Amino acid sequence: MSDFHVYDTTMRDGAQQEGLNLSVQDKLHIARHLDDLGVGYIEGGWPGSNPKDTEFFALAAKELDLEHATLAAFGATRRPDASAADDGLVAALRESGASVVTLVAKSHDKHVELALRTTLEENLAMVRDTVQHLREEGQRVFVDCEHFFNGYLDNRDYALEVVRTAAEAGAEVVVLCDTNGGMLPHQVGEIVANVMATGARLGIHAHNDTGCAVANSMAAVLAGATHLQGCINGYGERTGNADLVTSVANLELKLGMSVLPEGRLAEATRISHAISEITNYPPSARQPYTGVSSFAHKAGLHASAIRVDPNLYQHIDPALVGNDMRLLVSEMAGRATIELKGKELGYDLTGDPERLARLTDRVKSMEQQGYTFEAADASFELLLAEEMGTRPQYFDIESWRVLAESLPGSLDAISEATVKLRAGGQRLAVIGEGNGPVNALDHALRQAIEQLYPDVARFHLIDFRVRILDQGHGTDAITRVLIETTDGKDSWVTVGVGPNIIEASWQALVDAVTYGLRLHAVTPQTV
């Protein structure tokens, strides 16, 4: 369907999400990613309403070279009892350089009278005058009918009259907006089917307050809408807008519609995560299609079936959206999970049932003690290598200890760690200082082995998570620590469990350094 519109409003409606703040450069980067995805239209913001959006359109005209997308400027109909030609905000839309303008118009009678404080007839004139004026100025116009579904339920005739007025004035698309996000799919489908009788080309703009934004979008398309609005990763005010990637993937993979250029959907996961980095909102692991858990399997029963056919427990091939299947190792894992995970990591356990059974029992026993390998692939890989006799021994720990000192009245605390180990045929004793006991241990361990293994200088801790496992025991509770480390290119997560946070952290730190050196194919020195 070459005439189907995929319209992204991440940089305007999505940017209204609580805590999300985009710079002009952020928006330029996001626009390029959206173009890579192949969306047809990118709503860049509201020029004239704030300096940032005005600057974005000025820079976009010089710096954005879009291959697939057309940039759209968002704005409103003229003010009551005025002229579109003389309205300052309409002028900003004319001067934005955008070939497409999306106008928001009131379609709910109560909003016209209470929010705009004008008459129903004047609101129709505002729509007609603004659309006609921008069309005469050479711009294409889409109209977003704000609060349309609620307006339709309260005053059907007036809501339909707004749609007809916009279409007759020259709007290419009239978008029906579930602004409050309160509709359900059966309502949306029925209403869109009825509005089709106006003859206008219809679009859908759904919010997620009932958790139905994507479902409502699908219902609208099935009823005849050929213009779909949404935001990457479901960004937006309150509970967000319809997730554009989920919606598009449903249309292409479930309904058989071609709404993106060929091959672009396979970039969805990469682009979803790239935009998450720009917005500084971590991607949801459970996000449909693009989440890291979307094709993750934990139950042993699932793994047994996947070993026969991966599609038995997956609704699509993850590669279609650029994602991957993952097998999670946990206490729920059976031999099939361990076997498949081992194969994924380069170990074929098929012909060694005794080792496979021993490793499975060991994983379940350790998980019962508090370890979690589904979140710490690096520690599981080291455990597997140890079982196979291939875990490298870069150093041998003799002992370690930590001292913490805090002066009365001072907020600064100093921790000092001593690590004694053997590596490269030497006995090394190193003292490290830090702003906490774990930081001090990390410094001491690195200092002890850095001359022998200079690669450790590239390793940096980027996340540190602590969980108390048996809280009823108070300060005697078992502690689990997860540490994420990066070398600037790859990252890995290791786990430690102990009677206190320092013991657990030490285990995770040793695994983190060992895994990093192994990843870099460093040869162990003689211990």
Q: Average pLDDT of the chain? A: 89
- Is pLDDT above 50 for 409? yes
Q: Can you give the three-state secondary structure of 218-243, one letter per residue?
A: HHHHHCCCCEEEEEHHHCCCCCCECE
For residue 28, give both structure tokens: 């330029």
Distance separating alpha carbons of residues 60 and 57, to the nearest angstrom: 5
Per-residue pLDDT at 331: 46
CA distance 20 to 366: 40
Tell me the pLDDT tens digit for each residue of 193-251.
999 999 999 999 999 999 999 999 999 999 999 999 999 999 999 999 999 999 999 99
Q: Domain extents for the chain?
A: 5-279, 296-369, 396-519
Reply yes or no on domain 5-279 having CATH 3.10.20.30. Answer: no
Q: For position 377, what pLDDT does the model report?
A: 84
Q: What is the pLDDT of residue 26?
A: 93
Tell whether the model's pLDDT for residue 474 goes beyond 70. no
Start-to-end CA span in the chain (Å): 66
Interval 286-299 mean pLDDT: 77
The answer to whether residue 517 scores a pLDDT higher than 80 is: yes
Please tell me the predicted confidence (pLDDT) of residue 459.
93
Find, among 38, 60, 46, the residue nearest to 11 by Cα: 46
- Return the CATH number of the domain spanning residue range 396-519: 3.30.160.270
pLDDT reported for residue 354: 83
Residue 286 burial (CB count, 10 A): 10
Query: What percent of the chain has a predicted confidence (pLDDT) above 90?
Result: 65
Answer whether residue 1 shows pLDDT above 50.
no
Please name every residue paired with 491 in a beta bridge, in sequence order, or none if there are none: 486
Query: Structure pTM?
Result: 0.71
Yes or no: say if 279 and 23 are a contact pair by the CB < 8 Å rule: no
